[in-house]
Structure 1
């Protein structure tokens, strides 16, 4: 591919840098999620083995039910924790991608504005209306972009707050359920 000017070569390089930078951010998020999944799988397998060993060595049915109740609450807590960690990874990755795209948008917008200013200086007589329309369109697209960005950030914040509230409620419910099961198993014994 032959480029006819240094500006075109710089534009192609900037586009490639942007593409690989964005791809890198997405892969970092995927790596974090994969590492989390491996960690959760490993610990779940280890805990399952320990729990099966404890349960298999319990001849008394009431004690067995008590052990099962004791396994439920930690499992629920860990499930909620896993969900929170996935949400944190996703929101962090989204924030990094948003920051990256904002930087790219600002660079692009600055180039377009410089182009319009240059066109306004060198434009033929009577082109003022077209230049004003371009400037208006650029201003409108900037406003739209900023509004969409703020709305996206607010949605992530609301989702995080809602997730925290649901996690707290579910955690309390799981603990109460485990406590009730333990009390009930102890009362029968």
Structure 2
């Protein structure tokens, strides 16, 4: 059985993890806010420059040239903004995932310890029940590991697809 100290330690570890998640969420929000401020400043400066250029155009041909010259850099900056935003989200997700995996591993160890302690007190003849419980634990752990692998693979595929779409969009913007 778990002792009061073990339960208190487990609760303390869970609280530390929870506060760590909160701190990481706030840190990520700060990064997004900073990115948005930088993007807003750059857009304001670019818009002012663009407007000045449009107003100083001498004829229709120069006017069209200014318009065309504004679209490509804007598309490239939008793609860069998207990549940066994705990097912030991916970084936070990686840290959350790592912390969750560590917490899960710790919980599994505690559960296994509790089962082992309970097994020591099983009356004679209960060996079959103990073996069934151990098999169930092994199966559950294997299933959990498989789910983790599938989620990681899906995340990697999504990341790869996002990068490919971003690269294609950037190339398309440059071609225009």
Structure-2 residue corresponding to 1:36: 35
**Alpha-carbon separation, structure 2, partners of 1:10 and 1:97:** 21
Confirm whether residue 74 of structure 1 aligns to residue 73 of structure 2. Answer: yes
> What does residue range 48-87 of structure 1 map to in structure 2 within 5 Å?
48-87=47-86
Runs of 4 or more above 3 Å deviation: none
Q: Aligned-pair distance for 1:7? A: 2.9
Q: Which runs of 5+ in 2 are unaligned?
A: none
Distance 1:24 1:136 in 2: 39
Identify the residue that residue 160 of structure 2 maps to in structure 1: 161
How many angstroms apart in 1 are the aligned matches of 2:132 and 2:18?
Answer: 31
- Whole-angstrom CA distance in 2 between matches of 1:73 and 1:38: 21
Measure the CA separation in 2 of the matches of 1:62 and 1:141.
70
Query: Residue 174 in 1 paired to residue 168 in 2?
Result: no
Aligned residues: 174
The more displaced of 42-51 and 161-170 is 161-170
- Using the TM superposition, give the Cα deviation of residue 43 of structure 1 relative to its aligned residue in structure 2, in angstroms: 0.9
Q: What is the aligned partner in structure 1 of residue 5 from structure 2?
A: 6
Residue in 1 aligned with 2:115? 116
Shift of 1:6: 2.6
| Cα offset, 1:86, TM superposition | 1.3
Q: Give 1:100's aligned residue.
A: 99
Distance 1:29 1:176 in 2: 34
Q: Distance in 2 between matches of 1:21 and 1:105?
A: 15
Q: Which of 75-84 and 162-171 deviates more? A: 162-171
1:151 & 1:85 partners in 2: Cα distance? 26
TM-score by length of 1: 0.85
1:151 alignment counterpart: 150
Hey, what does 2:131 align to over in structure 1?
A: 132
Structure 1 residues 149 and 31, CA gap change in structure 2 (3 angstroms):
farther
Q: What is the TM-score when the length of structure 2 is the normalising length?
A: 0.90
Q: Structure 1: any 5+ residue segments left out of the alignment?
A: 178-189
